Amino acid sequence: MELMGSKLAAKAAVKKYNIPMVPGTDEAIDDINEAKKIALEIGFPILIKASAGGGGKGMRVVENAEEFEEQMNRAVSEAVSSFGDGAVFIEKYVGSPRHIEIQVMADSHGNIVYLFERECSVQRRHQKVIEESRQIIGKVNAGLLKIMSKMGICTIASYRNSGLFDIVGLSDEIVDDCFTGAHSDLAGLTYADIEEKINKSHHNAYKEENTIFPLDLGGFYKYSNGGEYHDYGPATTKAMHNKSATKKENLTDFDGLRELVANRDKKFIRDFLEFNSDRKPIDISEVETKETIFKRFATAAMSLGSISPEAHEAMATAMNTIGGMSNSGEGGEDSKRFGTIRNSKIKQVASGRFGVTPAYLRSAEELQIKVAQGAKPGEGGQLPGHKVTALIAKLRHTVPGVTLISPPPHHDIYSIEDLAQLIFDLKQINPLA
């Protein structure tokens, strides 16, 4: 299998047994003039092929000598882009070849997966599936064991057929086929639509006139000019910065930001919804004052570590200024902030107990117990080691560079009595919270 991982190595092995092969080179060739000379000897049309290639990548049919140099450059560029290896060789082009290929993955329990598509992730850089099968199985098992090691047996059993998510934007046919029993109120893409998207992405990545083959990431996770829309794109953040405290003269001028948000195109489901009520609005005198309403405002729990100290303190300052409450998250808080306008009034207690000290608890007006985790489904909370700086380690009473994990179910909450005991213990330290 190691020999077959490279087409040139495979040709060399086959040649030892005097098996007939298509005329061509037996070694990689990078000199264009030498390659062109060989092509003339073989006779056009010829086929330029990537040694590490597969799935049609790094291949070019050259009909005549005039287009040889351009096509070879494209083949090398595509081979490097697709396989990380620019080695190519030349063969006589066969007009109507028949290529039979079977790709199957199976385990010892009889589970079988047929890889019908040549464009599969398994095959992108490792052309021989069997070579990589142990690595694939090992990675899958490692992921499963990682989750199971953090979860009780009752918790993992509850995930089966639990219907934890709804479907948005897929046709009823796809939902019935692939997510049987799942709830879907808003239909959308069909199989044909998905196929069209895949084909469009493929053609954009490997179009002939593009010699460097850059991938369009589409901006799904990070803003990209001309890509997926983001509410917090450059225009919005720039408008918000213009209203920051560093420019006090602009603090009351929100017209630009308001117009930017209100006049954008419809981008989300909520943009298509309108209030439809026959009730008359109540008199403004019957509405609570803004100060009273602000008291009900609270920020979401975001730990110091998941966001920067500056952002963490800014939210606390903002909420305390208007009379609302900020939530510390589970990452602890610098004791220098306690009793100041930068203090988070809501303090969180999670399974990892990160940063939970008597002073931390007594600085709170409200204590929040995190009974379960959901940020990473099945995994709980996790702060990668590279984010655990000296400050984070100090606040969480640990060592810099060590990955910190909060198991998804609270490790000491398996019953109502357990929860009652934790509440009782916390009340001993802060009876007013």
Same-domain check for residues 145 and 196: no
Question: Is position 281 within any domain?
Answer: no
Same-domain check for residues 415 and 302: yes
Answer positive or negative: Cα dihedral of 232, 233, 236, 241: positive
Per-residue confidence (pLDDT) for residue 124, from 0 to 100: 44
Average pLDDT, the chain: 80
Work out the average pLDDT over 50-75.
82
Q: Total domain count for the chain? A: 5
Tokens (6 digits) for 349: 């207690």
Cα 175 to the center of its chain, rounded Å: 22
Same-domain check for residues 299 and 269: no
Last residue of a domain, one of 151, 181, 205: 205
Find the domain containing 240 and state its range.
207-274
Q: What are residue 364's phi and psi, to 5 degrees?
A: -100, 150
The bridge status of strand 88-92 relative to strand 104-106 is: unpaired
Q: What is the pLDDT of residues 123-168, one digit of tens each?
A: 444 444 444 455 667 777 787 777 666 555 556 666 667 666 789 9
Same-domain check for residues 302 and 407: yes
Question: Is position 283 within any domain?
Answer: no
Is 82's pLDDT higher than 60?
yes
Q: Please enumerate, as own/partner, the contacts of 398-406 that have beta carbons within 8 Å and a separation of 24 or more.
A: 398/354, 404/305, 404/352, 404/354, 405/150, 405/352, 405/379, 405/380, 405/381, 406/330, 406/350, 406/351, 406/352, 406/354, 406/370, 406/373, 406/380, 406/381, 406/382
Question: Is position 257 within any domain?
Answer: yes
If one compares 5 and 400, the residue with the highest pLDDT of the two is 400
Question: Is position 345 within any domain?
Answer: yes
The closest of 55, 59, 137, 64 to 99, measured between CA atoms, is 55
Is 116's pLDDT higher than 60?
no
CATH of the domain at 14: 3.30.1490.20
Contact in structure between 410 and 371 (CB atoms under 8 Å): yes
Same-domain check for residues 366 and 394: yes
